[in-house]
Amino acid sequence: MEDQNYKTALSVFIQSIKAGTKYHEYSLDVGMTPPVLQNVGLPALPLTISVKIIDKCYFEHGVTEATLGRLDDLIANPLSVYKSDSPHIDPAKVEAVVLVTIETKDGNPLLVAIHANKLIGRRQVNQIKSVYDKKDGVVQKWRNNGLLLWDKPAAPAVQATVTPIKPAAAVVVPAAPVVSVKKRRQFPKN
């Protein structure tokens, strides 16, 4: 569920960064970690993103404000979730994930990297570390390396069912009576 203040704060911070004032020490709550991520091992904690990461995603990676504003929905409805292959991550645990969103940028899938269970100030959170696009081949490489944690189920194929039409019972229509019409001969009037 999206934090009610997220979009407003996002807009304010992007405008301040454009104006030259960077508030990199601040973090924004995006919302709560959605069930799809909890089911792959992330704890049920708030999802946050730092203003420093927003700055990087917006100005370096070219992710639009509109897309950043929809992060909660994009994270809650991913196409797939992969375990991070970073060398500093314990392979036995789910400490970080990368999810593939339905969004694309320049024809490439938009990815969201999330680190689990981070201490920010006095709060434990799941922290969004980046939002960026990546060539599609990388995602296939992760799949081939066995990093897939969750994949969106394919929509069931719609099968057309055809109900044969049964011939209607023979309906006997009574024949109309035959009427013969004779033309009357007309005589000239005197």
pLDDT tens track for 58-96? 999 999 999 999 999 999 999 999 998 887 777 677 888
Q: Per-residue pLDDT tens for 11-20?
A: 999 999 999 9
pLDDT band for position 21 (cuts 50, 70, 90): very high
Q: Does any domain span residue 63?
A: yes
Domain count, the chain: 1
Q: Which domain holds residue 122?
A: 6-151
Q: Does any domain span residue 57?
A: yes
CA pair distance 112, 131, nearest whole angstrom: 5
pLDDT band for position 189 (cuts 50, 70, 90): low
Higher per-residue pLDDT: 100 or 180:
100
Q: In this predicted structure, what is the pLDDT of residue 156?
A: 75
CA dist 100 → 18, 59, 83, 117 (Å): 28, 21, 11, 20
Q: Does any domain span residue 27?
A: yes
Q: Is 148 helix (H, G, I), strand (E, B) or coil?
A: strand
Q: Does any domain span residue 138?
A: yes
Helix (H) or strand (E) holding 6: helix 6-18
Q: Does any domain span residue 125?
A: yes
Return the percentage of the chain with pLDDT > 70, whole number.
81
